Amino acid sequence: MLYAILCYNSEDAVGAWTPAEDAVVMARLAMVEAVLAGADRLGAVARLLPTTAAVTLRKGRPEGGRESVVIDGPFAETKEQLLGFYVVDCGNLDGAIDVARDLAAANPDRGAYEIRPLAVYRPGGLTQGRARKVRA
């Protein structure tokens, strides 16, 4: 079964890391990713840009004649923001929880990992090079 592991943390805290601190955390996470990839259990992985780059489309109500509207910022106003996600293939929920524990151990900062089974997974055709161009 495929699971999404959604990574939440304080955007301000993570954004305050020095490049060296960030590199250490990313290297630790890469080790967890390598184990999953080696077992052919790793799907998409993404680190999101800050919420200051986000917009939200609020759906209108056709019956009320209200148009959809785009607003600045993320959907939720919380202390922790969605910073990225992993898609992993695990035999059951316990296996997905184990992966989230490995990710948490690799990232010593506070935060949370929400684990949700996926109903639909379409990996798409973006290549790593194209994804980098989109972020730039």
pLDDT exceeds 50 at position 44: yes
> Rounded to whole angstroms, how far apart are CA atoms 3 and 22?
25
Q: What CATH number is attached to the domain comprising 90?
A: 3.30.70.1060
H/E element, 85: strand 81-89
- Answer yes or no: are the C-beta atoms of 22 and 108 closer than 8 Å: no
Range of lowest pLDDT (47-51, 54-58, 103-107): 54-58
**pLDDT tens figures, 62-117:** 666 677 777 776 665 567 788 899 999 999 999 999 999 999 989 877 788 999 99
Q: What single-letter amino acid sits at 65?
A: G
pLDDT exceeds 70 at position 8: yes
Using alpha carbons, list the distances in angstroms from residue 40 to 84, 88, 89, 98, 105: 20, 9, 8, 16, 21
What's the mean per-residue pLDDT of the chain? 83
Number of structural domains in the chain: 1
> Rounded to whole angstroms, how far apart are CA atoms 30 and 133?
21
H/E element, 11: helix 11-15
**Of 28 and 62, the one with more pLDDT:** 28
**Of 14 and 122, the one with more pLDDT:** 14
pTM here? 0.78
- Full residue range of the structural domain in which residue 20 is found: 2-135
